Structure 1
């Protein structure tokens, strides 16, 4: 990641780095299985997303600590409809979640983080905490197959417990004007999130099918990744 483009971008990046480090400290965040992350070369990390995506800075901070690499994150395309956010997010490692931009990032040799559950997992209701809803997507499997890069599965526990959110739809607001996703409002420890412990577990890399694999094989690979993430969640819960 290039944080030296201009003074404003550099200052914002350093501020975000400090905030991520403080978040990791506040939540006693740990990263297990870092030996599965390569020191160089492209790789696609795939796992579960936490409430509001709040855990992402701490997770990225731990990855950088372990590998010296700054990960890029595939972000919900709706965020890039918000004027200020679409300018700042790329400065902090956010990549618009299109196949073209994801492929470009991998071909440039980056470590790319993908959350197949997308906004559904980010804005889920309490009854859906730590559940994956990947049945309708093959995007990440196709991406890995087309880019010919391994998928490294991961899971984060504690990431859905940082705020208390009601199930009532009336306590939700739209992500942006005209957007279908609604963000649940929540409370923490006063102005802070709840000081829950976060544990991230990374598993061994899995090789995707070839780029010309039929859809049935891609679905099998997707389901294999999802099953692996669920197993890693159990491990993270008990770590």
Structure 2
């Protein structure tokens, strides 16, 4: 008789329910792994709550002024807390954005633009300015998202509608690379604008400053698999459906850099202006990003000794 068979005979003779015995045997192991996980979730939730709680007075004022303004700032406080706790988020150059008046924010599009959400939340919390945004059309087809798009003033963004937003004195965020740059870029951070110059037409016609924005390690937070990417690119170009799988949400260090404003020059065409802005963002990538990007190094950037040398 084997050891397992003998143990089974003993269990039956002692009249112990099988699953009760299994739980009893593995209980210490489960507890030793689950308790640290529960404590980690508790500490993370506590840190998140305290990050939000410090802005309670601003949230109270926002709700007293307008219920939707209060809702926006409440969501922004959650995103801001998430950014600080999960990614150790830093925003460098926020003072360059005007306290009043229009401006265009042109940013590099990561696999998921969480950095732009963090930038929007930071600007709303710290400067009390809401950055309007241009989003891809498929976002408006996702069930349940329409209200969120309306509250946060996200639009599909034609040249005419963008000019209207600028003329009303707002900040407007645009990622010219859009979904194509998000899904088909890689750790070498290529800029994939494919001659999309709509933002440049808006800037030239309104003569507003353009603020180039890049976030360090943004492509290490989320990734897309390299396998099958060429085929998926062909399918995307035909269907415009974001069918590329995404993985990640790694707690890497994120730093957003806001560059100096770029103004359209006299008699400059939209194509020429677009090339200048693209060159500015490319320079920011070379200056602030380790190439090729590395998830491991981006995680190590969270540690103080790495932050001092970054």
Q: Same fold (TM over 0.5)?
A: yes
Instruction: Provide the TM-score with structure 2 as the length reference.
Output: 0.64
Give 1:18 shift.
3.1
Candidates 152, 171, 185, aligned match of 2:211: 152
Give 1:11 shift.
6.9
Greater percentage in strand = 1
Distance in structure 2 (CA, Å) of the matches to 1:203 and 1:19: 26
Greater RCO structure (CA 8 Å; 6+ sep): 1
Give 1:30 shift.
1.0
Rate the CA distance shift 1:169–1:86 in 2: closer, same or farther, 3 A: farther
Look up the SS of the partner of 1:113 in the other structure.
strand
Look up the SS of the partner of 2:221 in the other structure.
coil
Give 1:122 shift.
2.3
* Residue 265 of structure 2 is aligned to residue 206 of structure 1: no
Q: Do the aligned residues in 1 keep the contact of 2:185 with 2:191 (CA within 8 Å)?
A: no
Give 1:119 shift.
1.3
Candidates 140, 144, 151, aligned match of 1:80: 140
Aligned pairs for 1:214-229 within 5 A: 217-229=269-281
Q: Do the aligned residues in 2 keep the contact of 1:78 with 1:179 (CA within 8 Å)?
A: no
Q: Do the aligned residues in 2 keep the contact of 1:125 with 1:184 (CA within 8 Å)?
A: no
Give 1:116 shift.
0.7
Distance in structure 1 (CA, Å) of the matches to 2:91 and 2:127: 11
Candidates 170, 184, 189, aligned match of 1:110: 170
Unaligned residue ranges in structure 2 (runs of 5+): 1-61, 291-309
Q: Do the aligned residues in 2 keep the contact of 1:201 with 1:235 (CA within 8 Å)?
A: no
Give 1:124 shift.
2.4
* Residue 80 of structure 2 is aligned to residue 21 of structure 1: yes
Give 1:15 shift.
4.6
What is the match of residue 136 of structure 1?
195
Give 1:81 shift.
3.4
Q: Do the aligned residues in 2 keep the contact of 1:199 with 1:236 (CA within 8 Å)?
A: no
Deviation per residue, 1:72-104 (Å, 9 max, x gap): 111112322335323321212312221122111
Look up the SS of the partner of 1:126 in the other structure.
coil
Deviation per residue, 1:45-78 (Å, 9 max, x gap): 1120111223221121223344331111111123
* Residue 192 of structure 2 is aligned to residue 165 of structure 1: no
Distance in structure 1 (CA, Å) of the matches to 2:69 and 2:94: 27
Unaligned residue ranges in structure 1 (runs of 5+): none
Aligned length: 226
Q: Do the aligned residues in 2 keep the contact of 1:39 with 1:69 (CA within 8 Å)?
A: yes
Deviates more, 1:195-204 or 1:73-82: 73-82
Distance in structure 2 (CA, Å) of the matches to 1:152 and 1:194: 27
Distance in structure 2 (CA, Å) of the matches to 1:84 and 1:31: 30
Look up the SS of the partner of 1:123 in the other structure.
helix
Rate the CA distance shift 1:14–1:151 in 2: closer, same or farther, 3 A: closer
Look up the SS of the partner of 1:201 in the other structure.
strand
Q: Do the aligned residues in 1 keep the contact of 2:102 with 2:166 (CA within 8 Å)?
A: yes
Rate the CA distance shift 1:205–1:14 in 2: closer, same or farther, 3 A: closer
Distance in structure 2 (CA, Å) of the matches to 1:122 and 1:130: 10
Distance in structure 1 (CA, Å) of the matches to 2:261 and 2:120: 18
What is the match of residue 99 of structure 2?
39
Q: Do the aligned residues in 1 keep the contact of 2:77 with 2:125 (CA within 8 Å)?
A: no
| Cα root mean square deviation, aligned | 3.1
